[in-house]
Amino acid sequence: MFKPDEMVKIEVITLNRYKDKLLTYFHEEGVVEIREISVEIAQKDVPNEFYRKATSYSIGISRLTEFLKSFKTETKGGIKEFFFPTPEVKKPYKYKGIEELVKEVESFLEKVEPEIKAIEQKLNTLSTEIERIKTNISILELLSLLNIDISYLRSTKMLEIVAGLVDREKFKPLIDELNTALKGRLVHVEKEMKAQYLVVFVILRRDYDKANPILAKYSFERIEIPEGKGTPREMIREYRHLLAEKERRLEDVKREAQKLAERYHDKIAFYQELMENERDKANILSNLVRTNMTFALSGWIPKSEVLRIVKGIEKITEGKVYTSIKNPTQDELDDIPIKLKNPKPLRPFEMLTEMFGVPKYNEFDPTPILAFTYSFFFGFMLTDAIYGLIIGITAALLIKGHKHLKDGTYKFSHILLWSSFFTILMGILFGSYFGDILQRAGFKVPMLIDPLKDALIVLGIALAIGLMHLFIGYTLGFIVKLKNGEVKDAILDQLSWMLIILGVVSFILSMQGMMPDIIAKGLFGAGFVLFILSELKNGGLAALLIISDFFGFIGNWLSYARLMALALATSGIAMVINILVEMIWGVKIGPVPIGMAIALILFAGGQLFSTAINALGAFVHALRLHYVEFFGTFYSGEGKRFEPFKSKRRISKLEIEV
């Protein structure tokens, strides 16, 4: 806790014949981050024939999977599925090597792929034909305004016949210019529409080259005349009959596709996952080096996993291996991948830390402090016991439903559960239960503080919390810099603010007669002198930075006033809803108390909306107080996240012998 997991460097050299099995072992264990080796005495490793095929198949199979997925009957969905998702059943696969797996996939695809592609081709062809028919019907419906036999609208050896649309304001200038250019050798039939004209031009072929640029100049939109004979309305009937026939055939083919999806989708998705994981292994090969007989890899591994992984390596390679475990050197500190390590109850909060950035190897992990302060800030800003209860119940249900997945929803729900506890606690202290609904109902509600009446007290508490939070941050920064040998920076950059904060607190206590003001002056003065010395490092900009940084600190401190502001906002919104409910409650239409029904709906909907909108505000602003104000005092978040070489298994489970 407070420190990232201890990492060591692992180097492995063994025979090429163990490469596939060893990489598969690392891939399934997911605890080693394999790094690129840069050497001159060996060559970079490259994928062999079977790895290349696996990469190719992963792309091809993924297209087949997407096609079948669109026709697979889905039974999942709804609120129940959101809270309690059905666990995926992982199908085991006994891994005997990349070569056998690729051959198995090839054999399967030889049988299945032609069937799927044949159905896909039929669907594409029919869909294209249906779209073409619909387009033709649309054109014929437009041409029906002219009521001219379609055969008269096709060009001949002597005549070029052009049908199309032109904007209303361009129609007359177009006709005039065409008549002028063609010397009157022009026949046209038009039909006025709302904003356009439908026009058919009959032009001599020898004049067409003169007419064409003019048509383009006036944005004449040509219409392709559909195949067929008869009037547009007669042809529409024929096309609609043909459309119905094509759509029936399309539905038949879709049913065939659904049968294929039921038969093959799960199997293809299973092979897709296997191939994608083999592709991951192929991509990592460029980080390895090899000779004719051996290969080598290097990476980082948590120290706690070393004994287990080394035993696995020894067993896979039958002892024909050189393994080296090294502690990181001082020069490698910035290169060490960071894996956060916290007690189980605090692990969900690691996602909040990682959203900002992981610590460097020689920095503190702020997760344990963030876990408490974030939850407390959330509760302080939401400040309603019933809101907290609603969020807590929702979070508990999500935790139970997503326990088998251990996904982001599961982790975030733990954060909400902790936050709901503080929300309930602060709601009890502030006497808020759906705002002031109990007070309006005539109940006497015990409370420590009424946030609406005692807003200044709540503001004072918020600012006191802010000073404490900032002091903790500067103290952590002071400890980190001392530990890393940065004594001067620790004193000037961190201790200065610690003393200033202690000075401010001492001034407040001295005003209450609890401490001599000489102590406050001494602490604040010492801190301010150190602060000035720190800024003098900036040379000519020192004077400006003294003003900027000092008032920047004041701004950061005052930013904690948002704790009070959001607490008041929650109480205020809830109170407005309660007032509206109270106003509507007694409304009647004759003997029917319609106001009661409307008021209940308004109360339920309004309070749920208030819960959601204020919880969102509390979530965002609690994060902001940590990311901007708190982390800015000591935390860089510039470490490199631990990214182990790890398989992604949703529906497959690889069985390998170790």
Is the pLDDT assigned to residue 187 strictly greater than 80? yes
pLDDT at 256: 95
424 and 377 fall within a common domain:
yes
Cα–Cα distance measured from residue 489 to residue 495, given in angstroms and rounded to the nearest whole number:
9
The amino acid sitting at 30 is: G
Q: Which residues contact 328 (CB under 8 A, 6 or more apart)?
A: 7, 8, 9, 335, 336, 361
The verdict on residue 74 lying in a domain is no
Token pair of 388, please?
């907290």
Q: Which residues contact 99 (CB under 8 A, 6 or more apart)?
A: 50
Find, among 299, 147, 367, the residue nearest to 235 by Cα.
Answer: 147
Cα–Cα distance measured from residue 104 to residue 470, given in angstroms and rounded to the nearest whole number:
61
Mean pLDDT in residue range 395-406: 93
Are 655 and 96 in contact, with CB atoms under 8 Å apart? no
The verdict on residue 439 lying in a domain is yes
Token pair of 297, please?
């890899």
DSSP-derived letter for residue 651 is: S
Buried/exposed code over 126-138 (b: 16+ C-beta within 10 A; e: otherwise): beeebeebeebbe
The residue from 296, 322, 339 where one domain ends is 339
Q: Between β-strands 640-641 and 159-167, what pairing exists: parallel, antiparallel or unpaired?
A: unpaired
Q: Between β-strands 337-338 and 640-641, what pairing exists: parallel, antiparallel or unpaired?
A: parallel
Cα–Cα distance measured from residue 476 to residue 482, given in angstroms and rounded to the nearest whole number:
10
207 and 309 fall within a common domain:
no
pLDDT digit string, tens, across residues 532-575: 988 887 766 777 778 888 899 999 999 999 999 999 999 999 99
pLDDT digit string, tens, across residues 440-481: 998 999 999 988 889 999 999 999 999 999 999 999 999 999
pLDDT at 77: 66
301 and 411 fall within a common domain:
no
For CA atoms 491, 497, 498, 502, the dihedral sign is positive
212 and 329 fall within a common domain:
no
Mean pLDDT in residue range 183-211: 93
407 and 476 fall within a common domain:
yes
**What number of other Cβ atoms are within 10 A of residue 441's Cβ?**
10
Structural domain for 12, as ranges: 1-45+288-339
DSSP code string of 250-313: HHHHHHHHHHHHHHHHHHHHHHHHHHHHHHHHHHHGGG-EE-SSEEEEEEEEEGGGHHHHHHHH
pLDDT at 76: 63
Query: Reduced to 3 states, what is the DSSP secondary structure of residue 518?
Result: helix
168 and 304 fall within a common domain:
no
pLDDT digit string, tens, across residues 217-270: 999 999 999 988 899 999 999 999 999 999 999 999 999 999 999 999 999 999
Strand partners, 350: none
Phi, psi of 639 (to 5 degrees): -75, 165
The CA-atom distances, in angstroms, between 131 and each of 141, 150, 322 are 15, 20, 65
pLDDT digit string, tens, across residues 303-342: 999 999 999 999 999 999 999 999 999 889 889 999 999 9
Are 41 and 338 in contact, with CB atoms under 8 Å apart? no
Strand partners, 166: 197
Q: Supply angle C-alpha 281, 284, 286, rounded to 5.
A: 130
The residue from 194, 224, 254 where one domain ends is 224
What is the CATH classification number for the domain harbouring 25? 3.30.70.240
What is the CATH classification number for the domain harbouring 167? 3.30.70.2750
378 and 479 fall within a common domain:
yes
> Band of the pLDDT at 81, cuts 50, 70, 90?
confident
The verdict on residue 642 lying in a domain is no
Provide the whole-model pTM. 0.85
Find, among 401, 351, 434, the residue nearest to 603 by Cα.
Answer: 434
The amino acid sitting at 607 is: Q
The verdict on residue 91 lying in a domain is no
Cα–Cα distance measured from residue 254 to residue 258, given in angstroms and rounded to the nearest whole number:
6
Is the pLDDT assigned to residue 293 strictly greater than 80? yes
The verdict on residue 150 lying in a domain is no
**Torsion (CA) 142, 147, 152, 154 in degrees, nearest 10:** 0
Token pair of 595, please?
């106001």
Strand partners, 451: none
Domain count, the chain: 3
488 and 601 fall within a common domain:
yes
13: enclosing H helix or E strand: strand 7-15
Q: Which residues contact 416 (CB under 8 A, 6 or more apart)?
A: 391, 392, 394, 395, 398
pLDDT at 298: 96
What's the whole-number average pLDDT of the chain? 93
Cα–Cα distance measured from residue 28 to residue 62, given in angstroms and rounded to the nearest whole number:
22
The verdict on residue 418 lying in a domain is yes
pLDDT digit string, tens, across residues 598-615: 999 999 999 999 999 999
Mean pLDDT in residue range 495-506: 94
DSSP-derived letter for residue 41 is: S
403 and 508 fall within a common domain:
yes
Are 360 and 638 in contact, with CB atoms under 8 Å apart? yes
Are 32 and 645 in contact, with CB atoms under 8 Å apart? yes
Cα–Cα distance measured from residue 457 to residue 484, given in angstroms and rounded to the nearest whole number:
41
The residue from 224, 247, 272 where one domain ends is 224
* H runs (alpha helix) in 30-83: 49-69, 78-83
For CA atoms 386, 391, 395, 398, the dihedral sign is positive
455 and 478 fall within a common domain:
yes
457 and 555 fall within a common domain:
yes
Find, among 344, 363, 335, the residue nearest to 38 by Cα.
Answer: 335
The verdict on residue 243 lying in a domain is no
The amino acid sitting at 356 is: F
pLDDT at 364: 92
The verdict on residue 274 lying in a domain is no
Cα–Cα distance measured from residue 298 to residue 287, given in angstroms and rounded to the nearest whole number:
8
HEC profile of 147-192: CCCHHHHCCCCCEEEEEEEEEHHHHHHHHHHHHHHHCCCEEEEEEE
432 and 565 fall within a common domain:
yes
pLDDT at 513: 80
